[in-house]
Chains A and B, each alone.
Chain A
Amino acid sequence: MTARITRRGALGTALALSAPAIGSAQSPTTITMWTFLDPNRPGGRETALKQIIASFEQANPNLRVRVEPQVWTTMAERFVLAANARNAPDIVWVNDQNLALLAESDAAADLKPMVDAWPQSRRDDQVLPAAFRAATMNGKLQAVPLMATSSVLMVRRDLLAAAGKTMEDLRTWDGVVEVAKAMTKDTNGDGQPDVWGIGLGLATERFSFTPAILAAVGLQGGLFGDGCRARLATPDVARAIQWQADLILKHRVTPREAVATTSDDAIDQFAAGRYGMQVIANSRFEQIQRTAAGWNKDALTMAPTPGWTADRPGPQILGGWFGVAWRGSPRVREAVRFIDHMSSADSMALWNLPGQQVPMLKSIAARPEMQEQRYAHLRQMAEFFARSGYSMPSTCAWSRTLADFNLATQQVVLGQRTVMEALRIAERATQDRQ
């Protein structure tokens, strides 16, 4: 009797102890990730993400990744708020503009131990070690780079040829104006241009890099002084803003409505064939080709940031998307494991192709398929990075400085302020955020 009770007790204890294991075998742990990509939608990056998740789940049968697509413009802020409310996703993607916000919020897990555990060969394989340095703040690695992007001058080669110009003419900002003038055309004779030389998104909502910022950084070498002191009300920045405003006011190569156009709307207009050139993040190359309407997608090409003189190219501002693990997540180890997987050589190969992203590893860049003509734009981008790559200071809050530039341009175009008055306002606004 006693023996039977003991046996039953032992069996019961064994079952009770094994219950969590049985449970976990039956219901895998789910990692939640916020990103702007929806793996169920068409597109190179979306396809790459889908394949990366599939390979991770195959290698880790007890783990599942659930993607909750988000609007990219507010994703970082929403993550920080959710982390404060202890309700954040396990992983979030943050762009370079929000690294300062991330560091200040202290919501990110330290990914340095993960990177320290990499073999030396993997560390040496990185194309942009500067991106790791930019993400290292307050003594910890806040995020790991997944995609490198930079704003480039996207150009339609067909319009360029029709205007009798070449890529060489786009080496300087003055050259850009001349090309834009030659590209601006009224094709249906209604007195209004149907194709504008250069598109701009100058709204203060959903904004991105514009030529004025690149031109200003090129002239001045940066927008911040020591201790993140904003340096915007300067003759160099004024020259850049005036140059941008003149595209509308003087040269009439950009529609006036640019003052109310968001970056996304301007990109849509570019894809619809309304502009000959536009400063756009290189990561949009595949999307623009996919959505090109009324023109041959193969005519799309990229030019490096123009300079003020032909012998000195403008800055290629490095940016991109980073993977972040939430520090307070109960699944932080699993989250870090997936970030590790997303930045592995296999995944980086997928981000490269079919993702159409610039190779982040030297070994990926050296692959034979990367030498094919159809991937020339990716090789080109890597060259731009190497030649004139520039990082905005990650410890300074500069993401809305882009909107400050846009507001200054709007005020000048509308004749409400002089350039210097507008820049003083922009400088104060940027300074207040530090």
Chain B
Amino acid sequence: MRRSERFVPYRLLAPALALELVLVLGPLLVGLWYSLHNVRFFRVRGFTGLENYTRLLESEEVLNALWVTAVFAFFALFLTFILGFALAMWLERDGRFNTAMRAVVLVPYMIAMLVGSMLLKWVFSQEGGLAPMALGPVGLGEVSILGDPKLAMAALVYNAMWRDGAFAMIMLLAGLKAIPPSLHLAARVDGAGAWMRFRRITLPLMRIPILITLIRLLVHFVNILTFPLILTGGGPSGATEVVVLKVFRLGFGDHLLGQANALALMVFLANLLLVGVLLALFRRAGRI
């Protein structure tokens, strides 16, 4: 290889790397710098070292937000993935009904997140919503879904399933379609039942689509803002105040931009850690 050719890949990569530096690394460094300063009302007041971080870790509200995020992300990820996988399996075969159903399932995903959450807010609202109309006849008319901490969390998880189940379905459907039908046919000839074929053919061949779907959903749920901001407003009493909503409020409600950036960086590191753990788990299981 000639010397000039050796640098071709780097030259080709350079524009993308430069963009990454400007759009990702730049804001990260600025965020890190802010997180080490006392920034109030959007003005830097002085260097504070790690004080923002220690204050956050001592804050009951922040610890609550971290717990709420963990609970939400766990249930939303588990249920959305199950729903998406079930839909993908159900609607795998091409046909008029399945094609129409895929379109129907995709509707919530096509609606803007904000609009979808507003729609669900109206559905769950006790004051003129649809849920009380359904609950009334069974004697639960007094139940306020959005006014109860546990039910509000359930509503938030439902919001995630309702919208992102379709996304999971698309991702997993693509994986299912890539499995050669001949493998299933051969297994059937050998007498393998549906469960056996699912375990021995479908699951092993779906490992990459499953991993991509899980990582994408996990990152999405850990960083969710629109659902709680619109549907529950983080309430009642902080029951659905996820960590990104806390970042938003620290920055733009309390005007404590130093603390907001510190928390944002902690969330970023948590994201990296979670994705790393997920990858390690898959590696350990020999799936990638």
Contacts and interface: CB of A to CB of B under 8 A. Distances in A.
A255 interface: yes
A260 B43 contact: no
Given A192-B141, A258-B147, A205 B42 contact: no
Interface stretch (A77-85, A127-135, A353-361): A77-85
Given A101-B255, A256-B144, A433-B254, A203 B235 contact: yes
B233 to A, nearest CB: 4
A177 to B, nearest CB: 21
Contact of B233 (A190, A203, A269): A203
Contacts of A203: 233, 235
A101 B41 contact: yes
A272 interface: yes
Interface string B253-271: 1111000000000000000
A377 interface: no
B141 A190 contact: yes
Contacts of B41: 80, 100-101, 104-105, 397
Contacts of B252: 74, 77
In which size bucket is the chain A interface? 35 or more
Contacts, number: 90
Interface string A385-420: 000000000000100100100010011001010000
Contacts of A204: 233-235
A26 B40 CA distance: 44
Contacts of B43: 104-106
B286 interface: no
A411 B237 contact: yes
B131 to A, nearest CB: 11
Contact of A416 (B128, B136, B237): B237
Contact of A410 (B229, B235, B254): B235
A77 B41 CA distance: 9
B175 interface: no
A397 B40 CA distance: 11
A125 interface: no
A104 B39 CA distance: 11
B232 interface: yes
Nearest to A417: B237
A407 B126 contact: no
A301 B62 CA distance: 43
A407 B237 contact: yes
Contacts of A416: 237
A257 interface: yes
B257 to A, nearest CB: 10
B120 to A, nearest CB: 13
B128 to A, nearest CB: 7
B144 A257 contact: yes
Given A190-B136, A257-B146, A206 B254 contact: no
Contact of B237 (A84, A100, A262, A410): A410
Given A205-B233, A257-B126, A433-B254, A80 B136 contact: no
Contacts of B136: 190, 192
A61 interface: no
A171 interface: no
Contacts of B238: 407
Interface in B216-240: 229, 232-238
Nearest to B143: A256
A259 B147 CA distance: 6
B125 interface: yes
B150 to A, nearest CB: 11
Contacts of A104: 40-41, 43
Given A104-B43, A400-B254, A432-B254, A269 B235 contact: no
A191 interface: yes
A267 to B, nearest CB: 12
Interface string A241-259: 0000000000000011111
B164 to A, nearest CB: 22
Nearest to A433: B254
A204 B237 CA distance: 9
B125 A397 contact: no
Contacts of B125: 257
A274 B126 CA distance: 12
Contacts of B190: none
A257 B127 contact: yes
Interface in A192-242: 192, 203-206
Contact of A257 (B42, B147, B149, B254): B147
> Which of A74, A261, A403 has the most chain B CB within a 10 Å cutoff?
A261
A83 to B, nearest CB: 9
A55 B210 CA distance: 63
A74 B255 CA distance: 12
B42 A80 contact: yes
A210 B278 CA distance: 46
A262 B122 CA distance: 13
A262 B233 CA distance: 8
A204 B256 CA distance: 17
Nearest to A400: B253
Interface in B24-54: 40-43
> Which of A190, A204, A272, A416 has the most chain B CB within a 10 Å cutoff?
A204
A273 to B, nearest CB: 11
Contact of A274 (B127, B232, B233, B237): B127
A65 to B, nearest CB: 27
B142 interface: yes
14 contacts: A81-B42, A100-B41, A105-B41, A190-B136, A203-B233, A256-B126, A257-B127, A272-B128, A274-B127, A407-B238, A410-B235, A410-B237, A414-B236, A425-B60
Interface of A: 74, 77, 80-81, 84, 100-101, 104-106, 190-192, 203-206, 255-262, 269, 272, 274, 397, 400, 403, 407, 410-411, 414, 416, 425, 429, 432-433
Given A205-B234, A258-B147, 20 more contacts: A77-B252, A80-B41, A80-B42, A81-B42, A101-B255, A104-B40, A191-B141, A206-B233, A255-B126, A256-B126, A256-B142, A256-B147, A259-B147, A259-B235, A259-B236, A260-B232, A260-B236, A272-B128, A274-B128, A432-B254
Going nearest first, the 10 A-B pairs with the smallest beta carbon separation are A205-B233, A104-B41, A260-B146, A257-B144, A257-B147, A257-B126, A259-B236, A410-B237, A203-B233, A260-B147
